[in-house]
Amino acid sequence: MDFELNEQQAAFRELIRDFARRSIAPVARQWEHEGRYPTEIIEEMKGLGLFGMLVPEEYGGIGIDAVSYTIVFEELSRVWMGVAGVLGSHSMATHMLASSGTEEQKRRWLPDLASGKRRSGLALTEPNAGSDLQGILSVARREADHYVVNGTKTWITNARHADPLPVLVKTDLDVQPRHRGMSILMIEAGTPGFTVSRDIEKLGYKGPESSEVVLQDCRVPVENLLGGVEGLGLKQALSALEFGRCNVAGRAVGIAQASLDLALAYARERHAFGRPIADFQAIQLKLADMATELQAGRLLTWWAASRLDAGGRADLETGMAKLYASELCIRTSLECMRIHGGYGYSQEFDVERLYRDAPLMAIGEGTNDILRTVIARQLTHGLP
């Protein structure tokens, strides 16, 4: 058993780390405060092939393993989590297309999505339903060779840049169990009746937009039904969310690593009572706990990703990784702030951004309490 990255993964980490230091670190604080969209950074990410991380080579992607995929999110989030957000739901959409799309759908969309010429997201949540996805109200009614879609989606990351956007809808309101009446439609930008109505103001995660999407008599061709068969939508979304949980776990580890980096540097440099604060045992205890939890979270994340690489479902593993990494990330960003004293509360330092970005890790891709119920169900009943 070897807990280290292999040579290829380690080299890939260096590449992403170098890119983040060179191209993201110099602008992260300013652009995040301005809520500026990271257009130039995205152009570089296209060159690195990052939009095609989960796209097989035959469709133009780089098809990396899931461990390397989590490393991308860790390294980017160590510098600016918002940038990682641009890749998160895009990658889930490409994974869904690659694993569930028809051959025609894959050939039609994957090459442009892999290059970043087109980008995507994932529209599941509605104003009345997030955790309870079977409670969504968006409905697609079949009319000859089109679906007519009505409903509202909210909190949709990348909504203004997605083309196509996978949208979870109900295609059968009567069937039981309810999930058999759910499908995913790939809705292309500019389709009449598809409107990104507003962007939501947020605590953190600035850079990528989180938007409300209104679907009003939106006519979507039947060939845009993901996989070509109705009733598979919830299953398709849940299997993409396993990759989503690994990316959120990676992001959480990245924020926690940044918190430890900053806390360590500051503790060495800041003096109080005639010595560096790192000499005080109270600070040392915090640093030791932060480093220990961080390493545990990273290894758990790599382990969960390696289970995805092994094939099959990994709800339990990815759920554990996302749950643990996000909770430690919240604790670590707060400890980092405490170690910085008053400066931790200043917008002139990066600490406050880490603290604002951390809580999203406990919400996105399944709230931590929902994940606890998924883990417990597997433990008690062996059910996914």
Beta strands, E only, 130-180: 139-143, 146-157, 165-170
Query: CB of 28: closest distance to ligand FAD in angstroms?
Result: 18
Q: Which helix (H) or strand (E) covers residue 261, if one does? A: helix 233-269
* Residue 365 is a catalytic residue: yes
Asked if 130 is part of the footprint of ligand FAD (rule: CB under 6 A), the reply reads yes
Chain-centre distance for alpha carbon 9: 20
Query: CB of 21: closest distance to ligand FAD in angstroms?
Result: 25
Query: CB of 200: closest distance to ligand FAD in angstroms?
Result: 8
Q: With respect to ligand FAD, which residue has the nearer C-beta, 177 or 312?
A: 177
Asked if 369 is part of the footprint of ligand FAD (rule: CB under 6 A), the reply reads yes
The b/e string for 252-266 (b: 16+ C-beta within 10 A; e otherwise) is: bbbbbbbbbebbbeb
251: nearest Cα among 366, 360, 356: 360
Q: Which residue from 77, 120, 157, 171 is in contact with ligand FAD, where contact means CB under 6 A?
A: 157
Asked if 45 is part of the footprint of ligand FAD (rule: CB under 6 A), the reply reads no
Stretch that binds ligand FAD, among 96-104, 271-279, 296-304, 359-367 (CB under 6 A): 359-367
User: Count of CB atoms within 10 A of residue 160's CB?
Assistant: 18
Q: Interface residues for ligand FAD in 162-201 (CB under 6 A)?
A: none
171: nearest Cα among 187, 186, 182, 184: 182
Q: Which helix (H) or strand (E) covers residue 237, if one does? A: helix 233-269
Asked if 233 is part of the footprint of ligand FAD (rule: CB under 6 A), the reply reads no
Query: CB of 233: closest distance to ligand FAD in angstroms?
Result: 12
Query: CB of 169: closest distance to ligand FAD in angstroms?
Result: 12
Residue type, 202: K
Query: CB of 375: closest distance to ligand FAD in angstroms?
Result: 12
180 token code pair: 């058999």
Asked if 219 is part of the footprint of ligand FAD (rule: CB under 6 A), the reply reads no
The contact pattern for ligand FAD, residues 87-126, with x = CB under 6 A and - = no contact, is: --x-------------------------------xxxxx-
Chain-centre distance for alpha carbon 301: 14
Q: With respect to ligand FAD, which residue has the nearer C-beta, 23 or 157?
A: 157
Pairing of strands 182-187, 165-170: antiparallel
Asked if 360 is part of the footprint of ligand FAD (rule: CB under 6 A), the reply reads yes
Asked if 363 is part of the footprint of ligand FAD (rule: CB under 6 A), the reply reads yes
Q: With respect to ligand FAD, which residue has the nearer C-beta, 124 or 182?
A: 124
Q: Which residue from 306, 367, 375, 378 is in contact with ligand FAD, where contact means CB under 6 A?
A: 367
Ranges of H-type helices in 78-137: 81-100, 103-115
Q: How far apart are CA 48 and CA 42, in angstroms?
A: 10
Q: Which residue from 113, 136, 156, 305 is in contact with ligand FAD, where contact means CB under 6 A?
A: 156
Q: With respect to ligand FAD, which residue has the nearer C-beta, 13 or 377?
A: 377
Number of H helices and E strands in the chain, helices first, is 11, 8
Question: Tokens 């962007």 label which residue?
Answer: 199
Q: Which residue from 6, 8, 131, 134 is in contact with ligand FAD, where contact means CB under 6 A?
A: 131
Beta strands, E only, the chain: 139-143, 146-157, 165-170, 182-187, 194-199, 210-221, 271-272, 275-276
Asked if 205 is part of the footprint of ligand FAD (rule: CB under 6 A), the reply reads yes
Measured in degrees and rounded to the nearest 5, phi and psi for residue 167 equal: -125, 125
Stretch that binds ligand FAD, among 154-162, 181-189, 260-268, 281-289 (CB under 6 A): 154-162
Q: Which residue from 51, 155, 194, 243 is in contact with ligand FAD, where contact means CB under 6 A?
A: 155
Query: CB of 182: closest distance to ligand FAD in angstroms?
Result: 13
Q: Is the dihedral of CA 117, 246, 240, 170 positive or negative?
A: negative
Q: How far apart are CA 164 and CA 91, in angstroms?
A: 13
Stretch that binds ligand FAD, among 100-108, 294-302, 348-356, 364-372 (CB under 6 A): 364-372
Residues of the shown chain interacting with ligand FAD in the complex, contacts defined by CB under 6 A: 89, 121-125, 130-131, 155-157, 202, 205, 210, 360, 363-364, 367, 369-370, 373
> Which active-site residues does the annotation give?
365
